[in-house]
Amino acid sequence: MIVNYRKEWFNHVAKERRRLQRKDKKATHRQAMAAASVTWPKQKAKLQRKAAREAKKNRTVESSSRAVQPTPDSGASNE
């Protein structure tokens, strides 16, 4: 899983702007970016951990699927 952190950053800013607009209906994108920059390191760490878990999961699934499948030259033929 490849994470596009630029896209995730703007998703985080949009989420923060929605939170700000609960209090101040005229919250701007710039204000949201300032508020989001405080919480972004923690959110980015969560995304990195999630990507690592997914990569680890994919590695284990691939290795187990390779062990189950027979090789083409296994000696078993229908002749």
**pLDDT of amino acid 62:** 82
- Copy the structure tokens of residue 71: 């090789």
Q: What pTM was computed for the model?
A: 0.72
Handedness of CA 52, 53, 58, 64 (dihedral sign): positive
pLDDT for 1 beyond 90: no
Angle at 1 between CA 8 and CA 9, to 5 degrees: 5
Average pLDDT in the 8-25 region?
95
**pLDDT of amino acid 9:** 97
pLDDT tens digits, one per residue of 21-76: 999 899 999 999 999 999 999 999 999 999 999 999 999 888 887 765 666 676 66
